[in-house]
Amino acid sequence: MSKLKNKVAIVTGASKGIGAAIAKYFAAEGAKVVVNYASSKRDAEQVVKSIADNGGTAILVQADVSKEADVTRLFDETNKAFGVLDILVNNAGIYQYLPIELVSQESFHQQFNINVLGSLLTIQAALKQFDGKGGNIINISSGASNMPMATGSVYSATKAALDAITISLSKELGAKNVRINSILPGATETEGTHTTGIMGSDFEKKLVENTPLGRMGQPEDIAKMAVFLASDDAAWITGEKISVSGGIYGF
Ligand code: NAP
């Protein structure tokens, strides 16, 4: 269990859900992990504690990825703690489901600022720390990119934009030995899908009906793919959009 031995990884939005699972799985594979969060300090502390209790190494850094100064601090603190950076996982994201009549400039900017601008800012900062030795970027996109749903116009657009960034940058950064891929989770049970009321709703039933493997995904399902993409097992893979979704064919 040491596919990521001594690698240093930043996981954004790792206080909850998919990000927390990725942080724990990375640490279990030997990575030193930076657990980033925006506001849920207690949850993030629990993730760091769980990693330490299992013999792993992790630090906690608060930073809002949509703010450039916060991103600079996140990478400075990573550098101070570990001296290098090998892996960036852009997981921090928000989803708002709104009929077009209710889409506001505020909801547009909130979702684009975190899901898209935030990822661009972290990638720019990561490239400075990869510093010619290469590196690995994983963008957590969504099945909503490939299969936009009703009321998800803005959210789906953010994830389609993120996938375009993945493909564009794979071409731009391959010569620098930087791999970049998108994971497209299907419907996954997380704190986020609980607080937005998806879990327990008719929408959840429909999602499961449309999933051949017949259940909601769990954060661990996504974390296992992130470990694979971050490891040398995926050394020949870049610029891909990989669905991890139980085969979901519609939202
Ligand atoms: P979640 O349970 O709501 O957790 C979101 C995480 O992102 C939290 O750790 C949160 O930190 C962090 N975050 C939010 N805004 C941030 C910001 N500005 N800066 C830094 N961190 C921030 O979400 P999830 O369901 O695990 O989703 C994680 C990712 O997977 C998202 O990108 C989402 O779009 C994608 N995804 C989810 C599903 C699904 O069904 N769950 C499906 C497809 C794709 P704080 O709590 O500290 O704010």
Domains identified in the chain, total number = 1
Q: In this structure, how many other beta carbons lie within 10 angstroms of the beta carbon of residue 57?
A: 16
In a domain, 183, yes or no: yes
Of residues 37, 97, 155, 249, which has the active-site annotation? Answer: 155
Q: Which of 15, 62, 203, 215 to mutate to test the pocket of ligand 1 (most atoms within 8 A of CB)?
A: 15
CA–CA distances in Å: residue 176 to residues 22, 79, 166, 236: 25, 20, 15, 14
155 in catalytic set: yes
CA distance 51 to 4: 15
CA of 12 to the centre of ligand 1 (A): 9
In a domain, 250, yes or no: no
Residue nearest to atom 41 of ligand 1 (CA): 188
| Helix (H) or strand (E) run with residue 35 in it | strand 32-37
- Ligand 1 pocket, residue 191 CB under 6 Å: yes
In a domain, 187, yes or no: yes
| Helix (H) or strand (E) run with residue 33 in it | strand 32-37
- Ligand 1 pocket, residue 178 CB under 6 Å: no
Number of H helices, E strands in the chain: 10, 7
In a domain, 165, yes or no: yes
Residue 159 Cα: closest atom of ligand 1:
34
In a domain, 1, yes or no: no
The length of the chain is 251
- Ligand 1 pocket, residue 65 CB under 6 Å: yes
pLDDT of res. 250: 86
Provide the domain limits for residue 38.
8-243
pLDDT digits (tens, 9 = 90+) for 126-157: 999 998 899 999 999 999 999 999 999 999 99
State the pLDDT confidence band at 44, using cuts at 50, 70 and 90: very high
pTM of the model: 0.99
Do 214 and 173 form a contact (C-beta atoms < 8 A)? no
Which residue stretches of the chain are H helix?
17-28, 41-53, 68-82, 105-112, 118-130, 143-146, 153-173, 191-195, 202-209, 219-230
Question: The CATH number of the domain where 20 resides is what?
Answer: 3.40.50.720
State the pLDDT confidence band at 26, using cuts at 50, 70 and 90: very high
- Ligand 1 pocket, residue 188 CB under 6 Å: yes
